[in-house]
Structure 1
Amino acid sequence: MVMELRQLEYFVAVAEERSFTRAAERVRISQSGVSAQIRQLERELGADLFDRSGRVTALTAAGRAALEHARATLAAASAVGHTVGEVTGLVRGRLALGMISGCTLEPLFDALAAFHQARPGIELTVREDRSDHLIEQTRTGALDAALVGLAGAAPAPDGLDACVVVRDRLVAAVPAGHPLARRGGGALLREVCEHPLVCLPAGTGLRTMIDQYCAAQEIRPTIALEASAPDALAALAIRGLAVAVMAESMIAGHRAQLTAVTITDMTVPAVLALVWRAERNPAAGELIGYCRRAFATER
């Protein structure tokens, strides 16, 4: 007996749809093609599987007995394919990771290096962009995972899973002689916004937080400058061109030239998170594991 998986697939489709026409639409071949394959299967089994005499296609006793086994066979074949796919997906292939522009987080780079050493056959590409663009590209599958900024306590973006790897408070970064630096004890957002600001561009997680807080307090800040890289924000603030509103960790390399003034009424921390689709490929799942471990070690 020579029985093909496609014959079983068509048999299950007709049984579940109770119609050769709807089954043909489901498996995307002609109705005559489905009928011919079912007839061939019935000849091989030596029994009719369907009663075709009524308006609705019904299973015969032989068909009912065969249906459970047909479903089990198809499920087993799918499991074999999935298992092989997981193995080959961890040996070779491509993996696209996104990260926010200007990212200099050492744990992320450590995770990428460890992953590459463990899976040298996987071609790894990294793309920089704004958080909102990275989220959309991950949602559509153009990226397998991305490190993005989220607005404070915002939930995972629709259609994606997320893991927070860094929490950081927002500060106003100013040179030592700036009026905000001489206050001590921090400043309210309204007081910070009395000065021109330099911020990340709209669409980034940090900028979304600033915009939301300002909107809630009916503050209209003067955004004098925008820059995508944290070092550029710091450099502009050092020169007194504007007050840089940024995550405190972003000024770590500029402590000698900048003072971090706590914005006391911006209490929700900024977060960096890994995002990915729930149906990620096996290689993406392994890379996410490396990233989680690297950031956990860092903290």
Structure 2
Amino acid sequence: MKKIFVQLLIAIIGANYCLAQEECTPLISFGTALDAKSQIEAARKNALSIVDPQVGYWRAKGDQHRNYFFKEANENMPYRLYVPQNWDGKSDLPLVMFLHGGWNDENSYVDANDRQLIKLAEKYGYLLVSPLGCHAAYGNNLLLPAVFGETEESSKIIAAGRNKMYSKEEQILSEKDIINVLELILAEYPIDKKNMFLTGHSMGAGGTWYLGAKYSNYWKGLAPMSGPFVLEHGYPWDSISNIPVFISEGSKSASKSSRLIYKYMSEKNYEVEYMEVNKGHGEMIPVVLPHVFLFMERVRNETK
């Protein structure tokens, strides 16, 4: 009995230490050890300390360049926000978060292709938010040539450790920034929490796979675009078993893994769709984006 009590006490102390440090055993083998529950709680607390109904931009509509002071990064962290002009100011808004690709920022994709993302958000009535991700890869350490289903190669990637482009600390800050921004929006705008979607391109697709599973309670659907940064092993597939996924790829880019992921998910009866267009890595974006919004609309309407 004494031995059991000591073991239980050690476990409790260990769990509390883990939460205090905001790091635990990684839920996803190729991600950070940041504890999701602790981060959500910290982000909500931070949001409540920042949002102010008295400021002039409170629940503003239209295209907005926002920022907040990210204490842990000691930096004003920007994010892009678009709220439909036809919003009545009261109704709950569906939300889509877009994660940019590597060597870009929170504005790159929003301004691209004659502001296509903004036009689609306006057309379908979505609040659109595009965070920076604090200069790193949203916590996902995978890079090409990771090939889905090749266990031996995947093991080498995991064994090699983190993405050498970014430090452990940078990846943790990047992951935190995403959740901070999301909670800032949730604290200010009336969001339809049953209809929140996550999408992104390339590195942003890797963030979609990673944050989509780690913070699965947020999301109604996921739409990774040309970024097959996920592995068969070391990934909590059960976390997205009830989340529809729309995978898209350009046939002129590294589409092999995307096809394999779609095949894997289809065989295991996940709710998954796949679209491949005869375009390159970046060229596929304006072709696929309208279909991403149509996917989100289908998912929304299924539960009405």
Q: TM-score, normalised by structure 2?
A: 0.25
Larger radius of gyration: 1
Q: TM-score, normalised by structure 1?
A: 0.26
